[in-house]
Amino acid sequence: MSDTPPALEISGVSHRYGARLALDDVSFSVASGAFCVLLGLNGAGKSTLFSLITRLFALRRGVIKVLGRDLNLNPGAALAELGVVFQSRTLDLDLSVAQNFFYHAALHGVGRKEAARRTAELLAAVNLADRAKDKVRALSGGQMRRVEIARALLHQPRLLVLDEPTVGLDIGARADILKLVRGLVAREGVSVLWATHLTDEIDESDKVVVLHKGALRAEGKASDLLEKTGAADMRAAFVASIGADEEGGAL
pLDDT digits (tens, 9 = 90+) for 222-235: 999 999 999 999 99
Rounded CA-CA distance 115/108 in Å is 10
**Averaged pLDDT for residues 64-70:** 97
- Measured over all CA atoms, what is the biggest interatomic distance in the chain, rounded to whole angstroms? 56
Q: What is the pLDDT of residue 1?
A: 46
pLDDT score recorded for residue 2: 57
Predicted TM-score of the model (pTM) = 0.93
* pLDDT classification of 156: cutoffs 50, 70, 90: very high
Domain spanning 1-81+159-251: CATH 3.40.50.300: yes
3-state class (DSSP) for residue 247: coil
**Mean local confidence (pLDDT), 170-199:** 93
Mean pLDDT over residues 201-206, rounded? Answer: 94
CB burial of 211-243 (b: ≥16 within 10 Å; e: otherwise) equals bbbbbbbbbeebeebbeebebeebbbbbbbbbe
Q: Which residues contact 193 (CB under 8 A, 6 or more apart)?
A: 8, 30, 36, 38, 53, 159, 160, 161, 162
pLDDT the model gives residue 117: 96
Type of residue numbered 200: D
Tell me how far apart the alpha carbons of residues 145 and 27 are, in angstroms, rounded to a whole number. 29
State the Cα–Cα distance between residues 40 and 100, nearest whole angstrom. 31
State the pLDDT confidence band at 3, using cuts at 50, 70 and 90. Answer: confident
Average pLDDT over every residue of 4-33: 96
Residue 94 predicted with pLDDT over 80: yes
